[in-house]
């Protein structure tokens, strides 16, 4: 962000400035919108954004404790004497105003990209193609929203001479804001699809809205092979006097014609433009990659220079992995893999994730970093900036790999060691030098840092359960939007967080500011506390031999009987404690744990009032059939019983007590009964009873080990159950029932997804492997195989084995490596 004085900042955001005499900061050079990603740093301003389920004003006092001094707010009551405040009508609009102000200060060209798919890939590929000639500022990751775009544009400064920003919208009216912020000179329209269609009356309306990004462009790149795009883009360009850089793969009448010849592992593309012919090769064969590459080359033809000098860059293009991977490492380490690219902006984002994961104070923070390339900055200045970042984020140790970073090792003031190449590091690698650390592995693609990750990762089993943390956050937000802002959320993380991994999920939920976590037994709670989780944790099934752990680790037990209450009270008394928090469970018809009769409840009340050892935090019950409309009458009976019991209990004590009864299905179907709190379980993991827009968070996948031919009349697997129909192609995959894949999926009942094809499981599933009939496909060893995920739903899998999604999720063996991905 270009530096501004407080007065300039207030003018840019169109706000009223309140300066505290105690504040020393007078220059602003960084905008922060998420209090959780701010650790340290010079000259920041915090924009207190208000969203559907959160309010940034709540975190101002926390940020002041961290040392932040300047805030943009829309709530006047948030202003205090400890900071400088700028009061605006709307903080999101203020952020956008600041970004538009910043954009107008720079005259170098900006490319704007929008469409339904391919925005991020085209942005990254254009960067890779052009970075040898230009100093490029671009959107980090896929920052293309109403908040992401301004944060991207605020990265502009005098060091760059080209900007590339992507823009995404989800409803009408949004692109007007983004056009004013990006103000592109050249536009790229990727395509039009079904994403976010629910908020538009037609595809035509959505396309017209996307085109608004380009209304002041000099030229627009678009493909004409879609009739809707061809018609509307042509009309738009004519209306706004924009030069058309239109192209085709189908021999239509356009400025540019492409033809593509696919080979085994690459595609040769020929471009025909005016009276010239250009040939280039990309290392991909799929339709989307070919389309994205054609968009990139079409843009080059809009430049005044000869595109020939960029042609060799296309053969070097790489797949775009825009997500961080988080996985368990050796010696109690946690790995954060981010080896797509290495630049200052993406490094800052990755460091915020590292800080989020480093929950335990005694966990060291280490970074393995490659050369940072194509920045255009003086190398000495660049690596001093990197060292400053590392000091701000409290990094304990850095390992630099590459000739450039090694040549500038004197720029680093923290503990550091350097290697000229990855091979040099591997040759001198010692496992015992990596202990109890969170390790960020951050490198440019050509350094192949995935090989370093292989050295440091805990498990090498090819079968993995990939957990999408962005999808989990989306699902949490969907449920938050069904609740009142003041309703608390308890999230169930018992049973290894439904098989998804307890500590990692708990860390994310703590980061998302949930109110409570719930575990089944005390040992699960102890593990979370040892991992640095500080959120209140309820133990649903407390056992007498776990009382001391509950007390020592500040867990909160569910009290479901008088006997349990008496015994736990004694344990609290022995420890000399008072007002220890507990929760009362009422049985309203589930006939599982809980207080069922008025006599039992009266005895509990009397016992609690007889001493000051315990304090009731909440009273709750559990619905037996909230997901079944045929049981709604019984569910309403449970509500009535619960409300009577709660009234009886709450009147007996002078303090406020929370109450909760809704599980995930209950939140969806009976939101009017949310009371003070709800308990979110399976819904967080992507299972909905009412077709909520939840996302699948888990993908169970493995890799083909071997492919073989099987002749007619031969069989596959144990007991010769796998019958082939003619000569067949069989793939062997290292996943079996010991990994949690149910044997009922054997013999063509279950399927897998390989290279765009659903293929049946053939024969009996073995303990450690299974076989697939991949006849008629191009499946080969090393190909990825999905068993559930985006292409095969976990609900479908559960139905085939006659069970519920809970059992599928919790049944995935812990020998299956969990990998966490996050954009």
Q: Which residues are marked as active site?
A: 494, 718
Determine if residue 767 is labeled as part of a ligand binding site. Answer: yes
- Tokens standing for residue 239: 């209306």
Task: Report which secondary-structure segment, H or E, holds 418.
Answer: strand 415-419
Residues 243, 299: Cα–Cα separation, whole Å: 12
Nearest alpha carbon to residue 223 among 197, 194, 188, 175: 188
Instruction: Let me know: does 46 contact 32? Beta carbons within 8 Å.
Output: yes
Determine if residue 592 is labeled as part of a ligand binding site. Answer: yes
Instruction: Let me know: does 98 contact 154? Beta carbons within 8 Å.
Output: yes
Kindly list the distances between the CA atom of residue 640 and the CA atoms of 633, 634, 643, 646, in Å, as whole numbers in the listed order: 11, 10, 5, 10
Residues 197, 603: Cα–Cα separation, whole Å: 57
List alpha helices for 711-782, DSSP H: none
Residues 285, 265: Cα–Cα separation, whole Å: 6
Residues 437, 459: Cα–Cα separation, whole Å: 17
Residues 542, 104: Cα–Cα separation, whole Å: 61
Residues 436, 397: Cα–Cα separation, whole Å: 13
Instruction: Let me know: does 562 contact 596? Beta carbons within 8 Å.
Output: no
- Tokens standing for residue 133: 């000639």
- Tokens standing for residue 229: 């795009």
For 36, residues 6+ apart whose C-beta sits below 8 A from its C-beta are 352, 356, 511
Residue with tokens 């400088």: 84
Nearest alpha carbon to residue 52 among 96, 94, 92, 87: 92
Residues 584, 621: Cα–Cα separation, whole Å: 9
Residue 89: other Cβ atoms inside 10 A: 9
Return the ∠ at Cα 482 (arms to 481 and 487), rounded to 5°: 90
Question: Which residues fall in the annotated binding site for substrate?
Answer: 592, 767
Question: Which residues fall in the annotated binding site?
Answer: 592, 767
């Amino acid at each position: 962000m270009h530096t501004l004085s407080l007065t300039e900042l207030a003018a840019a955001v169109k706000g009223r400035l309140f300066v505290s005499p105690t504040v020393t900061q007078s220059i602003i050079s960084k905008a922060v919108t998420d209090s959780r990603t701010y650790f340290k740093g010079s000259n920041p301003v915090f924009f207190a954004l208000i969203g559907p389920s959160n309010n940034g004003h709540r975190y101002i006092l926390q940020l002041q404790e961290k040392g932040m001094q300047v805030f943009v707010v829309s709530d006047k009551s948030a202003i205090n004497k400890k900071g400088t405040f700028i009061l605006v009508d709307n903080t999101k609009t203020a952020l956008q105003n600041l970004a538009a102000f910043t954009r107008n200060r720079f005259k170098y060209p900006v490319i704007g990209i929008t469409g339904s798919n391919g925005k991020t890939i085209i942005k990254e590929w254009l960067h890779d193609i052009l970075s040898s000639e230009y100093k490029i500022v671009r959107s980090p990751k896929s920052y293309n929203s109403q908040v992401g775009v301004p944060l991207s544009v605020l990265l502009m400064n005098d060091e760059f001479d080209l900007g590339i920003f992507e823009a995404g919208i989800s409803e009408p009216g949004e692109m007007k804001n983004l056009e004013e912020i990006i103000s592109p000179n050249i536009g790229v329209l990727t395509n039009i699809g079904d994403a976010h269609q629910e908020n538009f009356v037609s595809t035509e309306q959505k396309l017209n809205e996307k085109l608004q990004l380009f209304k002041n462009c000099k030229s627009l790149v678009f493909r004409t092979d879609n009739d809707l795009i061809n018609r509307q883009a042509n009309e738009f360009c004519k209306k706004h006097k924009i030069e058309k850089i239109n192209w085709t793969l189908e021999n239509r009448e356009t400025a540019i014609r492409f033809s593509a010849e696919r080979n085994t592992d690459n595609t040769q593309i020929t471009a025909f433009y005016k009276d010239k012919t250009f040939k280039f090769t990309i290392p991909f064969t799929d339709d989307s990659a070919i389309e994205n590459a054609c968009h990139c080359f079409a843009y080059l033809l809009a430049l005044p220079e000869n595109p020939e000098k960029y042609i060799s860059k296309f053969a070097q293009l790489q797949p775009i992995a825009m997500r961080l991977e988080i996985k368990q490492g050796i010696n109690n380490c946690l790995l954060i893999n981010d080896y797509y690219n290495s630049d200052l902006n993406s490094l800052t984002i990755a460091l915020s994730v590292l800080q989020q994961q480093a929950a335990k104070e005694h966990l060291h923070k280490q970074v393995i970093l490659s050369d940072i390339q194509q920045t255009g900055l003086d190398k000495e200045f660049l690596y001093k900036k990197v060292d400053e970042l590392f000091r701000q984020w409290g990094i304990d140790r850095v390992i630099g790999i590459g000739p450039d970073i090694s040549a500038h090792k004197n720029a680093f003031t923290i503990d550091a060691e350097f290697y000229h190449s990855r091979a040099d590091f591997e040759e001198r690698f010692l496992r015992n030098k990596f202990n109890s650390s969170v390790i960020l592995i951050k490198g440019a693609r050509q350094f192949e840092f995935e090989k370093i990750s292989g050295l440091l990762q805990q498990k090498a089993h090819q079968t993995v359960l990939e957990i999408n943390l962005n999808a989990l956050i989306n699902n949490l937000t969907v449920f938050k939007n069904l609740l009142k802002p003041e309703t608390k959320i308890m999230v169930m993380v018992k049973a290894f967080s439904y098989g998804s991994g307890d500590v990692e999920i708990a860390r994310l939920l703590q980061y998302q500011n949930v109110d409570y976590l719930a575990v089944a037994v005390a040992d699960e709670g102890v593990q979370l506390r040892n991992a640095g989780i500080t959120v209140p944790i309820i133990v649903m099934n407390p056992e007498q031999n776990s009382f001391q752990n509950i007390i020592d680790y500040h867990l909160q037990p569910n009290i479901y009987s008088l006997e349990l209450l008496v015994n736990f009270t004694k344990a609290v008394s022995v420890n000399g404690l008072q007002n220890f928090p507990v929760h009362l469970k009422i049985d309203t018809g589930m006939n599982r744990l809980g207080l069922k009769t008025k006599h039992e409840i009266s005895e509990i009340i009397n016992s609690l009032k007889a001493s000051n050892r315990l304090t009731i935090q909440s009273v709750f019950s559990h619905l037996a059939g909230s997901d079944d409309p045929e049981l709604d009458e019984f569910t309403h009976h449970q509500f009535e019983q619960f409300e009577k019991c709660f009234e009886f209990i709450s009147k007996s004590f002078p303090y406020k007590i929370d109450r909760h009864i809704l599980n995930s299905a209950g939140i969806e179907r009976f939101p009017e009964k949310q009371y003070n709190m709800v308990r979110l379980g399976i819904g967080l993991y992507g299972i909905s009873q009412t077709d909520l827009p939840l996302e699948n968070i888990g993908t169970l996948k493995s890799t083909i080990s071997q492919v073989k031919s099987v002749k007619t009349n031969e069989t596959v697997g144990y007991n010769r159950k796998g019958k082939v129909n003619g000569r067949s192609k069989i793939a062997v995959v290292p996943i079996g029932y010991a990994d949690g894949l149910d044997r009922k999926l054997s013999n063509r009942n279950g399927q897998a997804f390989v290279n765009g094809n659903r293929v049946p499981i053939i024969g009996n599933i073995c303990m450690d492997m299974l076989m697939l009939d991949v006849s008629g496909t191009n499946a080969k060893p090393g190909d990825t195989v999905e068993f559930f995920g985006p292409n095969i739903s976990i609900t479908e899998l559960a139905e085939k084995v006659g069970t519920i999604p809970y059992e599928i999720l919790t049944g995935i063996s812990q020998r299956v490596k969990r990998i966490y991905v996050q954009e």
